[in-house]
C-alpha cells in the first residue's frame, strides 16, 4: 500500500544561514544587473549613432594567439571567455542550492524544478509552433532563445519597484534562474556545438578529473587551479563544445561541503570572490558587445514583424510566466502543498513575468543559432530586448500593486528589536518549542486563488 504524500508549505521562510547567503548573492547580482543595462544601452546608442561603424569594428577586432586557435574577435572573447566565468558562478550557485538550499530537500525542490522546466519548455514550444507555421526552415534554429532567465536584469527591476519582495520569492527566482542556466548550457552543449574533436574533448575530460581529485585532496592553491582552469577552457573550446560548458563543469565538481574549522566551503568562497567580477565586469562587457544591433536602415518595428521575433516575444512574455505558474500550481496540487500564508499566486505570477526577462543567455543562444546570418540575428536580438522590457514593465505593474503588502511582510520578517543582527522571527522559531508565541506575517489578500491544500479536501 502506498503512503500518501504529506502536505507541506512552499515558499516558506529560508533558514537563517541560507537567508544570509541569499541576501549576499542577490545584492551582487542586482548591482551587476544595473551595470548590464548600462552596457547594453551604450552599445545600442553607439551602434545606431553616426559612429556606429566604429562600434562594429571594435566588436570584430581580432586578438589572441592564432597558433592555438585563439585569434578571436573581441565579441567572441566576451561570449566564449567572459561568459565562462558567468556560468562558473551560476554553477556554484546551483551546487549550493543542491547541497544547502531549496533544491536540497526533495519536497521543496519539486516545485521550483518543475517551474523551471515548465518555464523553459513552454516558450520553446510556442516559438517552434509559430515559426514552423509561418517561417522558414532556417528560422527554427533559434528554438531555445526564449528559454533562459536573466537573474541580474530581473533583480535590477526588483531594486527599483520591488525592494520588499519576500525573501522566499527572491530565492524562488534565483533557483529558477540557476536551473534555467543549467538547462541552457546543456542545450548549448548538445545542439549549438560545432566541429566536435574527440582528442581535445578527451583532454578536457581528463583535466576535469584532475580538478575533481584536487578538490577531493583539499588543494587550495590558486597557482594550480588558475592554469588548470585556463587549459580546461581552451581544450573545451577546441573540442567544438561551447567553451562556457567548461565553467559549469568545473563549478559542479567544486566541493560544497565544509571541513572542521572551515567557515565556508570552497564553492561558497569562490562564489563570493568571483561574483563581483562576473556581475560587475564579465556580464556587462558581454552585453556591450552582444547588444549592438544596427537599426539605421530598418528601424525598430520592421525586425519585430518576422516569425522569429514574434516567437521570441510570445515565448518570453507569455510562455515564461504561464510555464512557471502553471507547473508550480500543478505540482502544488499534486504534492498537496500549501502556499506560505503571506504569498499569493499573483505574487508567483509576478515572479513568472520577471523570469520572462531573458537577456544575457538569450543573446548568447541567439548568436549561436544565427551565426553569420545578420538579418535573422538582428531581428532576434531586437525581439529579446523588446520582450525583456515588456516582461519587466508587466512585472513592475504587478509588483507595485502589491508593494503595500510586501512592506507589511518585510516589517515583520526584518524586525530586529534587540539589534543582535538576527531577525526576531528566527528567534521566535527557535523558542517555539518552549511555548513562546511566534509572530506571523500578514496573509495574502483574500482575492488570491486558494492554495492546493485548501481545495483538495
Q: What is the DSSP string of 229-297?
A: HHHHHHHHHHTTS-THHHHHHHHHTS--SPPTT-SS-HHHHHHHHHHHHIIIIIHHHHHHHHS----TT
Q: Which three cell numbers stand for residue 128?
A: 517552434
Instruction: Name which residue leads in pLDDT, 138 or 107.
Output: 138
| CB of 230 closer than 8 Å to CB of 64 | no
Residue 57: per-residue pLDDT: 97
Confidence of residue 437 (pLDDT cuts 50, 70, 90): very low
Is residue 446 scored above 80 in pLDDT? no
Looking from the CA of 7 toward its CB, the CA atoms found within 13 Å total 12
Distance CA 107, CA 100 (A): 14
pLDDT at 457: 38
Residue 444 pLDDT: 65
Burial 83-112 (b: 16+ CB within 10 A, else e): bbbbbbbbbbbbbbbeebbbbeeeebbbbb
CA angle 317–320–323, rounded 5-degree value: 140
Strand-pair partners of 10: 339
The CA-CA-CA angle for residues 86, 93, 6, to 5°, reads 145
Task: Name the band, by pLDDT with cuts 50, 70 and 90, for residue 450.
Answer: very low
SS3 assignment, position 227: helix
* Number of other CB atoms surrounding residue 431 within 10 Å: 12
pLDDT in the model for residue 435? 44
- Return the pLDDT at 40: 93
Mean pLDDT to the nearest integer, 95-124: 90
**Mean of pLDDT over the chain:** 88
CA distance 116 to 328: 9
Classify residue 6 as exposed, middle or buried by CB count within 10 Å of its CB (0-12, 13-18, 19+).
exposed
Compute CA 439 distance to the chain's CA centroid, rounded to the nearest angstrom: 33
Of 264-273, 327-336, 441-450, which range is least confident? 441-450
- Residues 367-425 pLDDT 10s: 999 998 888 999 999 999 999 999 999 999 999 999 998 999 888 888 878 777 788 78
In this predicted structure, what is the pLDDT of residue 321?
A: 97
Is CATH 1.20.1530.10 correct for 8-193+242-456?
Answer: yes
Average pLDDT over residues 32-51: 94
Reduced to 3 states, what is the DSSP secondary structure of residue 339? strand
Across 58-87, average pLDDT: 96
DSSP string, 141-174: GGTTGGG---HHHHHHHHHHH-TT--HHHHHHHH
Q: Band the pLDDT of 348: cuts 50, 70, 90.
A: very high
In the prediction, which pLDDT does 4 show? 46
d(CA 165, CA 425): 17
Sorted by sequence, the CB contacts under 8 Å of residue 70 that are 6+ apart come out as 64, 234, 237
Per-residue pLDDT averaged across 336-347, rounded?
85
Please state the pTM of the whole predicted model: 0.88
Q: Within a 10 A sphere around the Cβ of 245, how many other Cβ atoms?
A: 23
pLDDT value at residue 64? 96
Grid cell locating 111: 516545485
Determine the average pLDDT of the residues in 116-140.
93
Higher pLDDT, 40 or 299: 40
Band (13; pLDDT cuts 50, 70, 90): confident
Query: Around 198, how many Cα atoms within 13 Å sit in the side-chain half-sphere?
Result: 0
Grade residue 267 by pLDDT with cuts at 50, 70 and 90. very high
DSSP state of 62: E
Mean pLDDT of the 101-116 span? 86
Residues 188-243: pLDDT tens digits? 999 998 889 999 999 999 999 999 999 999 999 999 999 999 999 999 999 999 99
Which residues fall within 8 angstroms of residue 453, CB to CB, at 6 or more apart? 7, 336, 337, 338
Which residues, other chains included, contact 360 with Cβ-Cβ below 8 Å and sequence gap of 6+? 36, 83, 86, 148, 150, 152, 153, 283, 286, 287
**35 Cβ contact list (under 8 Å, min separation 6):** 279, 280, 283, 284
Amino acid at each position: 500500500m502506498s503512503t500518501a504524500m504529506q502536505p507541506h508549505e512552499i515558499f516558506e521562510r529560508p533558514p537563517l544561514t541560507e537567508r544570509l547567503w541569499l541576501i549576499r548573492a542577490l545584492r551582487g547580482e542586482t548591482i551587476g544587473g544595473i551595470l548590464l543595462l548600462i552596457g547594453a544601452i551604450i552599445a545600442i546608442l553607439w551602434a545606431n549613432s553616426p559612429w556606429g561603424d566604429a562600434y562594429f569594428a571594435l566588436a570584430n577586432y581580432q586578438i589572441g594567439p592564432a597558433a592555438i586557435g585563439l585569434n578571436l574577435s573581441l565579441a567572441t572573447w566576451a561570449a566564449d571567455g567572459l561568459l565562462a566565468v558567468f556560468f562558473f558562478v551560476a554553477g556554484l550557485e546551483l551546487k549550493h542550492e543542491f547541497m544547502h538550499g531549496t533544491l536540497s530537500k526533495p519536497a521543496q525542490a519539486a516545485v521550483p524544478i518543475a517551474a523551471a522546466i515548465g518555464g523553459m519548455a513552454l516558450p520553446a514550444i510556442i516559438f517552434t509552433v509559430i515559426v514552423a507555421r509561418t517561417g522558414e526552415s532556417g528560422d527554427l534554429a533559434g528554438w531555445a532563445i526564449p528559454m533562459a532567465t536573466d537573474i541580474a536584469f530581473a533583480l535590477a527591476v526588483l531594486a527599483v519597484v520591488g525592494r520588499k519582495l519576500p525573501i522566499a520569492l527572491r530565492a524562488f527566482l534565483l533557483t529558477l534562474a540557476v536551473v534555467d542556466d543549467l538547462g541552457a548550457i546543456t542545450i548549448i552543449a548538445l545542439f549549438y556545438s560545432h566541429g566536435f574533436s574527440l582528442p581535445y574533448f578527451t583532454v578536457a575530460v581528463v583535466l576535469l578529473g584532475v580538478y575533481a581529485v584536487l578538490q577531493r585532496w583539499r588543494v587550495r592553491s590558486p597557482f594550480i587551479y588558475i592554469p588548470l582552469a585556463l587549459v580546461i577552457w581552451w581544450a573545451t573550446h577546441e573540442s567544438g563544445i561551447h567553451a562556457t560548458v567548461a565553467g559549469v563543469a568545473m563549478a559542479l565538481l567544486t566541493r560544497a561541503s565544509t571541513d572542521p574549522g572551515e567557515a565556508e566551503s570552497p564553492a561558497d568562497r569562490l562564489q563570493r570572490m568571483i561574483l563581483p567580477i562576473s556581475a560587475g565586469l564579465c556580464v556587462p562587457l558581454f552585453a556591450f558587445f552582444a547588444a549592438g544591433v544596427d537599426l539605421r536602415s530598418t528601424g525598430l518595428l520592421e525586425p519585430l514583424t518576422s516569425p522569429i521575433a514574434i516567437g521570441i516575444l510570445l515565448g518570453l512574455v507569455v510562455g515564461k510566466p504561464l510555464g512557471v505558474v502553471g507547473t508550480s500550481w500543478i505540482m502544488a496540487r499534486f504534492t498537496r502543498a500549501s502556499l506560505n500564508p503571506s504569498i499569493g499566486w499573483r505574487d508567483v505570477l509576478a515572479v513568472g513575468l520577471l523570469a520572462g526577462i531573458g537577456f544575457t543567455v538569450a543573446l548568447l543562444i541567439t548568436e549561436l543559432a544565427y551565426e553569420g546570418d545578420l538579418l535573422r540575428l538582428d531581428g532576434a536580438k531586437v525581439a529579446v530586448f523588446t520582450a525583456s522590457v515588456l516582461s519587466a514593465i508587466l512585472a513592475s505593474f504587478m509588483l507595485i500593486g502589491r508593494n503595500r503588502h510586501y512592506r507589511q511582510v518585510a516589517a515583520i520578517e526584518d524586525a530586529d528589536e534587540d539589534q543582535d543582527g538576527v531577525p526576531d522571527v528566527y528567534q521566535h522559531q527557535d523558542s517555539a518549542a518552549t511555548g513562546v508565541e511566534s509572530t506571523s506575517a500578514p496573509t495574502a489578500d483574500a482575492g488570491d486563488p486558494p492554495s492546493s491544500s485548501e481545495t483538495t479536501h
